[in-house]
Amino acid sequence: MNLPRAFATLSNGTSLPWAEVPEWLADEFVAATAAELERGGRLCAWFGVPEGAATRLVAIVAFDADNTLTVGRSTHVKDRYPSLTLAHPQAHLFEREVWEQHGIEPVGHPWLKPVRRQNGDRPATGEFFQVEGREVHEVAVGPVHAGIIEPGHFRFQCNGEEVLHLEIALGYQHRGVEAALVNGPNRATLSQMETVAGDTTIGHATAYAMTLEALAGTEAPLRAQWLRAIALELERLANHVGDLGALANDVAFLPTSAACGKIRGDFLNLTAMICGNRFGRGLVRPGGCRLDLEPERAGQLREQLTAALADVAEAAAWLWDSNSVRARFESTGAVSAEQAAEMGLVGPAARASGLVRDVRFDHPAGWHRFAQIPVAVWPGGDVLARAQVRWLEIQRSGKFLEEQLATPPDGELQIEAGQPANDTLSVALVEGWRGEVCHVALTDGAGRFRRYKIVDPSFHNWTGLALALRGQAISDFPLCNKSFNLSYCGFDL
Amino acid sequence: MFAHQTLLHRLQHGCQTMAYPEGPAPALPDRHGGALRVETTKCAEGCDACLPVCPTHAITRLPGNPALLDLGRCIFCAGCVEVCPTHAITQTGDHRMATRHREDLLLGKPGEEQVRLAAALDEKLRKLLGRSLRLRQVSAGGCNACEADTNVLGTIGWDLSRFGIQFVASPRHADGLLITGAVSQNMKLALQKTYAAVPPPKLVIAVGACAISGGPFVGHPEVCNGTTAVLPVDLFIPGCPPHPLTILDGLLRLLGRLEKPE
């Protein structure tokens, strides 16, 4: 067999025939993927495609500075292959997931255990990492938490108040999304995409629409691309504002907490003004958008947007002005740039550690090819940095929206998405408010989904939270957790 | 200087809590649509246009009968409304949708064109819980949107605590559970344990299409298709997710707080 030298190149929102994806024997494929990562790549997705009793591994790597993606695959893997995680820790959860889904073992993986698999009426969490010592004690939290929050289990190893190690066990929200997508698309597919993570409805629905359009070789009309970009920033605004309020609440700074709770609702209501639903359900469709933002409606939206942005500017100013808030935010839960890069963090969590990493800028697709938003970066990697990145993004999203609402493109809103091509692979990335939403679809000979891989940004970032807690007081866990605000359902699928 | 500014701002804004329920309810967005209605007499014989568009198979039709729409399964995408040639399925714009019984969400029998709204708790429970209801929320296999819009009820605009309703940290302190999500197999044990920890008498409130029927995940082997498979339910609040006003209406309706005092 002739060994191909390089991964195949494609860009965001495009597809290529499955047969053109270069192929290696498992060992060589791991080495080839490692080489891609070593020349500056970042692992977007690593998953298995079942083929009879065997599995093929597929890797999607992003080269952010070059605005390109690369893809490669392995030949059949039956039982085991050498782990990629040893050299590149950012692969650790992906390899656990492949092991859980396809039963092939990444040999040498340092912490091989289930991700979300069911064990009767609970997830198979496996053994937890334990620290031993006379003063060491263990704290278990969840799955049912104190507030109105999704379920997950946190296991802390503490020495007094200090956290030595945090292990996060999820899977409680697992509802079989990826398995249900196989053989689709069907009538249920879109609603399942919209509820991968309910607070990222626009992000995931847009990635899905891009996927189908890429597979069919069509492109949504410009007006629909414009509207999707607007809805995506409204989604970001609502969530970032809510997060600033929640961070304020966790340090008992009630003025900003109370104000942001309400302003978050104002932003959700702007999304509802466009499509009737506060979370953006029913707006994005393959081939375009279902509902238009007519000039009169856009005018109203702009007016209310300006008012909400002014309110949040005031509430944020109180936060930054307060010495007690700064004292609690600064140096709490720090993740270094090296750690963030090594673990493959994405979104505000990566940008708060100084990494310049934003799909809208690095891999522009849709409307972002014509209208850019500066990347918001802050050094430090602590709670303050994650809060500041959000505040920067609130301002920049606000400005983007004010500009875009003033200059809508004309034309139709929806076209036929078309029939997905046979035996084709497509990749769609969207910068959701938590970071990179990645959808990879592979069709069969009839144009149905043979495999549909969803990587929610939380899949990359939960490990970031675990790292942030090292050496922190356990009482700072809620604050650190809020500063990441990751999705359980997006991870659990 | 700083404390002065925030206090001044608070004074300028005044009370930001809505007047509802004493005053009018806040308007739903014009594209929201509200609860659905099935006009049995308009449902054309032999037509099944709405059946294949429904993502959650919420509509069934037996020969000789009008279409039967299960609002507990509905995710309010309005696909059926758009394709119905005779406008038999319509949006009412009404935010009120909560029911006490699962079958009260079935629309499309003569006299049962709309949801049969929830009746209040009986006198004894009302006396016990009507002015002070403590709930433990359990999120069990959904998308976190129902949770988000339940949380909204705690913000200053809605101020749920003015009704004596509060979400508490421990099931031991609770009078009942508010459940969201399709009840994943992975959350089944945790939900059962939480329920067992609530002292009786206890209420169960299912919020959202998932908690009522499985929602977008209905039929997946990884979920139990809603709360009723695991626990008895006292109040069903449909939506995907329900608007905060719909949730509040359901809670107040259950406590008999929307009726005029005699």
Contacts of B261 (CB under 8 A, 6+ apart): none
Interface test with B, best of A119, A125, A173 (most B CBs within 10 A): A173
Amino acid in the structure at residue A438? C
Q: How far is B2 from chain A (nearest CA, A)?
A: 7
Query: How confident is residue B260, by pLDDT bands cut at 50, 70 and 90?
Result: low
Burial of A269 (0-12, 13-18, 19+ CB in 10 A): middle
**Distance in angstroms (rounded) separating the CA atoms of residues A473 and A235:** 32
Residues in a beta bridge with B42: none
> Minimal Cα–Cα distance from B168 to chain A, Å?
7
Chain A residues closer than 8 Å to B151 by CB: 147-148
Tell me the chain B residues in contact with residue A150 when contact means C-beta distances shorter than 8 Å.
139, 144, 147
Strand A288-289 with B176-180, pairing: unpaired
Number of Cβ atoms within 10 Å of the Cβ of A414: 17
Q: Closest residue of A to B193, CA-based?
A: A144
CA distances from A378 to A119, A352, A443, B71, B93 (A): 42, 5, 40, 47, 45
Amino acid in position A421: A
Length of chain A: 493
**Chain A nearest C-alpha distance from B260 (Å):** 29
Contact assignment for B186 to A275 by CB distance below 8 Å: no
Q: List the single residue in B171, B185, B217 with the smallest CB-CB distance to A121.
A: B185
* Runs of H (alpha helix) within B14-163: 79-83, 123-129, 145-151
pLDDT in tens, B75-129: 999 999 999 999 999 999 999 999 999 999 999 999 999 999 999 999 999 999 9
- Predicted local distance difference test score (pLDDT) of residue A280: 97
State whether A174 and B56 contact (CB < 8 Å).
no
Across the interface, do B220 and A175 touch by the CB < 8 Å criterion? Answer: yes
Do the chains contact at A118 and B241, CB–CB below 8 Å?
Answer: no
pLDDT band at B2 (very low <50, low <70, confident <90, very high): low
In angstroms, the separation between the Cα of residue A166 and the nearest Cα of chain B is: 21
Q: Nearest residue on chain A to B52, judged by CA atoms?
A: A187
Cα–Cα separations (whole angstroms), residue A109 to A46, A57, A112, A464: 15, 16, 6, 19
Residues of A in contact with B136 (CB under 8 A): 144
Contact A305/A405 with Cβ under 8 angstroms? yes
Of A187, A313, A184, A191, which Cα lies nearest the Cα of A259?
A: A313
Closest-CA distance, B222 to chain A, in angstroms, reads 5
A167, A443 in Cβ contact below 8 A? no
φ/ψ of residue A413, rounded to 5: -110, -25
Report the sign of the C-alpha dihedral through residues B260, B130, B145, B114, in that order: negative
Query: Which of B1, B2, B143, B210 to probe by mutation at the A interface, max A CB count within 10 Å?
Result: B143
Buried b (16+ CB within 10 A) or exposed e, A42-69: bbbbbbbbeeeebbbbbbbbbbbeeebb
Contact A144 B142 (CB under 8 A): no
Q: Pick the residue from chain B with its C-alpha nearest to A188.
A: B55
Q: Is A451 helix (H, G, I), strand (E, B) or coil?
A: strand
Residues B222, B224, B228, CA angle at the centre, nearest 5°?
A: 170
Which residues of chain B does A123 touch, with a Cβ-Cβ cutoff of 8 Å? 186
Give which of A33, A48, A28 is closest to A115, Cα–Cα.
Answer: A48
Closest Cβ–Cβ partner in A148, A272, A488 for B32: A272
Best of A115, A195, A291 to substitute, by most chain B Cβ atoms within 10 angstroms, is A195
Q: Using CB atoms, pick whichever of A118, A190, A488 lies closest to residue B222.
A: A118
Max Cα-Cα span within chain B: 74
Mean pLDDT taken over chain B: 94
User: Quick one: closest CA in A to B169, which residue?
Assistant: A146
pLDDT recorded at residue A3: 54
User: Which residues does chain B have within 8 Å of residue A188's beta carbon, measured at their own beta carbons?
Assistant: 55-56, 216
Tracing tokens 């490692």 back to the chain, one arrives at A34
Nearest Cβ partner for B52 among A143, A187, A195:
A187
ipTM for this model: 0.95
Whole-angstrom distance, CA of residue B240 vs CA of residue B215: 8
pLDDT digits (tens, 9 = 90+) for B139-188: 999 999 999 999 999 999 999 999 999 999 999 999 999 999 999 999 99
Residues of chain B found within 8 Å of residue A172, distances taken between Cβ atoms = 140-141, 184, 186-187, 190
Residue A205 gets the label, from left (phi > 0), alpha (psi -120 to 50) or beta, of alpha
- Whether A279 and B148 lie within 8 Å, measured CB to CB: yes
The amino acid sitting at A409 is P
CA angle B148, A280, A239 (to 5 degrees): 45
Q: Do A172 and B155 touch (CB under 8 A)?
A: no
The pLDDT-based confidence of B10 (bands split at 50, 70, 90) is confident
* Residue A328 distance to chain B (closest CA, Å): 18
Identify the residue among B144, B188, B240 best suited for mutation to test binding to A, counting A beta carbons within 10 A and taking the highest.
B144
Query: Which residues in chain A come in under a pLDDT of 70?
Result: 1-4
Chain B: residue whose CA lies nearest to A117: B186
> Which residues does A88 contact at the CB level (< 8 Å), separation at least 6?
A33, A34, A37, A43
Q: Chain A residues with CB inside 8 Å of B15's CB?
A: none
Helices (H), B120-182: 123-129, 145-151
**Residues of chain A with C-beta less than 8 angstroms from the C-beta of B138:** 144, 151
CA-nearest residue to B188 within chain A is A121
Please determine, for residue B261, whether its predicted confidence score (pLDDT) is greater than 50: no
Buried b (16+ CB within 10 A) or exposed e, B207-236: bbbbbbbbbbbbebebbbbbbbebbebbbb
Looking at the partner chain, which of A175, A258, A321 has a beta carbon nearest the beta carbon of B223? A175
Quick check: A192 and B29 CB within 8 A?
no
- Chains A–B, number of C-beta pairs less than 8 Å apart: 180
Give A82 to chain B, closest Cα distance, Å: 31
Residues B36, B71: contact at Cβ < 8 Å? yes
Residues of chain B with C-beta less than 8 angstroms from the C-beta of A148? 137, 139, 147, 150-151, 167
Overall residue count recorded for chain B in this entry: 262
Task: Give dist(CA A288, CA A250) in Å, integer.
Answer: 40
SS3 (DSSP) at B211: helix
Question: To the nearest whole angstrom, how far is the Cα of A492 from the nearest Cα of chain B?
Answer: 9
pLDDT tens column, A363-403: 999 999 999 999 999 999 999 999 999 999 999 999 999 99
Phi/psi of residue A312, nearest 5 degrees: -70, -30
3-state secondary structure of B148: helix
Tokens of residue B210, six digits: 């998932």
Residue-wise pLDDT for A403-445, tens only, equals: 999 999 999 999 999 999 999 999 999 999 999 999 999 999 9
Asked if A143 and B150 come within 8 Å (Cβ–Cβ), the reply is no
pLDDT at B203: 97
CB B117 within 8 A of CB B48: no
Cβ count near A206 (within 10 Å) = 31
What are the b/e assignments for B15-45, b being 16+ CB within 10 Å? eeebeeeeeeeeebbebbbbbbbbbbeebee
Minimal CA–CA distance to B241: which of B152, B127, B156, B171?
Answer: B152
Distant-in-sequence, close-in-space partners of A54: CB < 8 Å, separation ≥ 6: A76, A77, A78
Q: Between chains, do A148 and B151 touch, taking CB under 8 Å as contact? A: yes
Q: How far does chain B reach from its first CA to its final CA, in angstroms?
A: 51
Q: Which of B32, B139, B194 sits opposite A276 (nearest CB)?
A: B32
